[in-house]
Amino acid sequence: MTPKKQFASIHSRMLITSLLPLILLCAVLASYMITEQRSVLEGNLLRNGVVVTQQIAGNAEFSMYSNNEEALTKLGESVLDIPMVSGIVFYNNSQKTLVNVGTFDERALDLLSVKTPLRPYFYDHHWYFYADIIKEISMVQDYDEEALPATEILGWFLIAVSDEMLIEENRNGIFAVLVVSSMGFLIAAWLSMRIGRSISKPVEHLTEMVESMEAGNLNYVAEEDGPTEIRKLASGVNQLAASVRQSNVRMQSEVARATAQLQITLIELEDAMEAQEQFLARMSHELRTPLTAVIGFSKLIAIETDAVKREEHLRIVSMSSNMLLTMIDDILEFSKAKVGGFTLENIPFSVQPWLEDLIAIHLPAAEKKGLSLTFTISEDLPAALIGDPVRFIQVISNLLSNAVKFTETGGIEVLIGCQSIVEGNVVLECSVSDSGKGIDETKIPRLFDPFTQEDTSINRRFGGTGLGLSICKSLVQAMGGDIKVHSEVGVGSVFTFTYHLRATDDSALTGFTETAVHKTHKSEALEGLTVLVAEDNLFNQRFIVRLLNSYGAECLIADNGLEAIDIAKRLHVDAILMDIHMPVIDGITACETIVQQPGESPPIIALTADVTLAERERIIKAGAALILLKPLNEEELIEGLMSLVTRSNATLSFAPGGLLSSVVPVDELKSALYSSLSKLEIQLQTDDKASLREIIHDLLGLAGLYGMSELRAMVVTFKSDYGSLDAEANIERVQQIRRHIEEFLVS
């Protein structure tokens, strides 16, 4: 039995409970008796010493007066007959002589100057008693009143009394106390053990029975004997064993069922973890096509001189950017992309212009491989439909991307027609056919599962994640349709999907188009408004201020959250644009403080690149009225400001090309980026990392604000790795970022 279990037993606890107070009591009594005995012995010694001192002082008067050293010696020897006295010293004041009798430590004489002479003092196992030898002088008085006799101090003496007898008697007393206490303790311990064993033994026997039952021997029956309480306990244990035997059967069946369910759950969890790993490793699949279009057409815009073509390129860049942002949201929320997992808009649109723009995006890739890319729209398709054109075009874009990727010769064709039109409800049918390699029939059933590709070599040869068709299926199901594929190896594939929407007349489409025309002149849209721009990056400040000024707004600038709080408290502003990540005080804390200030607080629009639900909840809880994601969308920003200042009925048209093309010259953006990179190189060369975080924050802010995702990814990688690399490797990383900017922003 381990010490822990041993002291946890009833018997042990009873012994401890009974003996521990007894031990404490014996210790206290013994300590008291020993202390009291020593005090009594010491008191007797001091009283005897004082009496002897008084007797010697009287007997030594004549000898001291007559300076009879022989008489003093005899007097001292007579004192030595007392057992505890070890020595005595007489001192004659007139003769200045010492008479030493017996064993006397002369060092004790040195203590007379520091000790109180009239009181005994202790030194080196001896008590020393001091007294003056005094002679009384009778005086003749000339009056009858009594007067105290005059005295003369003839000398003094010091007696040394050893404490050996006191110590010996004290030891004898301690021994007697210990013997009595031990005998009492042993007798009490024996009685406690006898009584405790008579109580604990039946309980221990019953405990052994319970342990046997716990080990699985449920058929064992405890004996119901002993004291009444023990018999009741044994009866309860027997009843419990019977209940356990009955419940064992039920439990075994439940365990079997739970085990089977757990195995199923584990398989599902493994599949989910594998899908998550694939998702994080390959999530760029759906972003490449629109991002390539943005980069390519942005370069064409920089060198294009024809205004019509430039406007066309800007329109394609704008559409591709919207598609890119939509895809990012879809990928980040892919785990929730089930039926109804996507939010669809219902706006009037015409299929043809959207499809023409999409073909223009994919045509360069098709022509590069020598493929033809055509589309046909059925004549019975209504000219105006109500639905979500971005989601619709996204499905076709995914299918076109795969078709171009897996087709080496021949061509690709897009056919759009009506499957049915009933009372304005249109079932649109779209097919994308190619003359590519085709798909093995055995692979088709899992073709639309997430991260599924026909074989593993596809990822090595063509890239991609296998998310495209899964997203297409989720989108089509959200649109109320269905998607299927017919394929033959070596001949090609045909992907067909349907989309449920409503038809409308041309006037609705025209009205919708005219709604986006200048009902409010651009330069007057925000006229009279004062907007506080809380942004720590200087270039971002200039960018947002220019944009808002172009719409007629006046701007105040805050470089950090603390300045934003101060300006909002002292000055009147109609709205606040608050960057969430700022120095001194972050944007979320600044929002909370401004909202809690006395009076009515201005509406706050939060600017952030974070898209997590937790971050959104924190910002909204802090008091932000609206959240805009970076890269900023000009239309969302201006309309958001107008709606928050009760101008929601006013509408504007927005130029294609986005914020960057309409407000900020490319040279200024390059200058700001190069300035930050130069500062970064200087910090790395001097090994001064004090401002690295601030510079990296500026670079991330510029990349996020203007949608430069590749640049942002490179800066994020640098931020995570620079601490583990040397200065030379870090500077090379900075040069790579500089070369990327030079390629991206062609001057």
- The pLDDT averaged over each successive group of 10 residues in the chain (747 residues) is 54 71 80 81 82 83 83 85 85 84 78 66 83 72 55 83 81 82 80 71 72 71 68 75 75 81 82 64 59 78 79 78 64 51 76 85 84 90 87 87 87 91 88 88 77 48 56 84 89 92 70 40 71 85 84 90 91 90 89 87 85 78 86 79 66 44 56 78 71 69 62 73 73 81 62
pTM over 0.85, yes/no: no
Please state, as a whole number, how many other Cβ atoms lie within 10 Å of the Cβ of residue 713: 13
Pairing of strands 126-137, 121-123: antiparallel
Q: Count other C-beta atoms under 10 Å from residue 266's C-beta.
A: 10
CA atoms within 13 Å, Cβ hemisphere of 390: 20
**Do the first three CATH levels of 285-515 and 522-656 match, i.e. the same topology?**
no
Q: Which of 162, 155, 168, 169 is nearest to 103 (CA)?
A: 162
Burial class (CB in 10 A: 0-12, 13-18, 19+), 271: exposed
d(CA 85, CA 159): 7
Residue 656: alpha-carbon gap to chain centroid = 44
Which amino acid type is present at position 577? Answer: L
pLDDT for 605: 93
How far from the centroid of its chain's Cα atoms is residue 634's Cα? Answer: 36
Beta bridge partners of 131: 157
48: CB partners within 8 A, 6+ apart:
84
**Residues 6 or more apart whose Cβ sits within 8 Å of residue 356:** none
Nearest to 695 by CA among 712, 676, 711: 676
Q: Is 85 helix (H, G, I), strand (E, B) or coil?
A: strand
387: which strand partners? 347
Residue closest to 434 by CA, chosen among 452, 409, 467: 409
Tell me phi and psi for residue 385, to 5 degrees: -130, 160
Longest CA span, the chain: 163
Q: Go through the chain and tell me how many residues it has.
A: 747
Whether the Cβ atoms of residue 561 and residue 581 lie closer than 8 Å to each other: no
Burial label for 557, CB within 10 Å (0-12, 13-18, 19+), is: middle
Class of the domain covering 285-515: alpha beta
Distance from C-alpha of 665 to C-alpha of 129, rounded to nearest angstrom: 109
* Per-residue exposure over 4-18, b if at least 16 CB sit within 10 Å of its own CB, e if not: eeeeebebeebbeeb
At 7 the pLDDT is 52
pLDDT value, residue 511: 44
d(CA 447, CA 470): 8
For the chain, give every domain's residue range. Answer: 9-138+161-217, 285-515, 522-656, 666-744
Could you tell me which residues are beta bridge partners of residue 497? Answer: 430, 483
SS3 of 451, please? coil
| CATH fold of the domain at 522-656 | Rossmann fold (3.40.50)
